Amino acid sequence: MTSTTSAAPATRAFLGLDYDLLPIDDVLAQLGARPADAPFVYLVTPNVDHVVRLHDDTSDDRETIWAAYRAARWCTCDSRILAALARPRGIDLPIAPGSDLTPLVLDRLCRPGDRIAVIGGRESTVVALTRLYPGLDIVQHRPPMGMRRNPAAMAAAVRFVVEARPRFTFLAVGSPQQELLAHLIARDGGATGIGLCIGAAIEFVVGESKRAPRLFQRLHIEWAFRLLADPRRLWKRYLVTGPRIFRLVREHHPGDTPGA
């Protein structure tokens, strides 16, 4: 008798992005299984801020930013709020944030002698990371501010990754710069390894920044901890821009293809 049960979908679309339906351990398994010398691919971890910006952005490179997210080999949900908003629509998004993936990649997947590249961050951050992982060959490229609008700086960062040939490249230059850069590296064709668009996650690993306590995370209010820690910088993101996600969810229809 032939089974009529269809296989579970590998991805589900929500607010214009196709999320991988993979628990964090399965994401790690796929990252670890990819040969270090395979052509460069990358992972993105959209959160509420990313999604709102993708929909609200009216810049001349809006379509390029959408293309960068959609060309990622893996797209994992970085936000418990996004997952909660998707659930009433019958979409169960596993949560695999960059801040969780980063230490797990370093602890579980990296082997002594592996070359690891960090794009962005402070020099002190990489010095601290090297102390924590002395067996890894860690290299860093620090691009100038405003790299997104600087073609020469973007090209230099691409060239760095191509020439360094790291197993993992941590792109820590903020969204959407890191996603645009990852897309350029992949399109270059000469790079190898895996790129991880992880924002400030390396700072959490070395203790330069502090993550919200587990209670805040379980209650879906990690954003509140960040806001209290740095209100002058983050008040607009969390109190003005972030709440737009509720309007996006209310207005969005599954067939919509923003950025197309």
Residue 103 lies in a domain: yes
pLDDT of residue 139: 98
Residue 84 lies in a domain: yes
Q: Based on the structure, what is the number of domains in the chain?
A: 1
pLDDT of residue 237: 63
- The answer to whether residue 258 scores a pLDDT higher than 80 is no
pLDDT of residue 239: 63
Residue 81 lies in a domain: yes
Q: Higher confidence at residue 49 or residue 231?
A: 49
Model confidence pLDDT, tens digit, residues 58-83: 777 889 999 999 999 999 999 989 99
pLDDT of residue 2: 40
* One-letter identity of residue 184: L
Residue 248 lies in a domain: no
Residue 190 lies in a domain: yes
d(CA 219, CA 216): 5
d(CA 130, CA 194): 19
CATH number at residue 195: 3.40.50
pLDDT of residue 180: 97
- Write out the residue range of the structural domain in which residue 150 sits: 11-210
| Confidence band for 224, pLDDT divided at 50, 70 and 90 | low
Provide, rounded to the nearest whole percent, the portion of the chain with pLDDT above 70: 82
Across 52-156, where does the E strand assignment appear?
74-75, 115-120, 137-141
Average pLDDT, the chain: 88
d(CA 213, CA 222): 8
Quote the crossing angle between the two packed helices 62-70 and 177-188, to the nearest 10°. Answer: 70
Average pLDDT on 227-251 reads 72
Residue 17 lies in a domain: yes
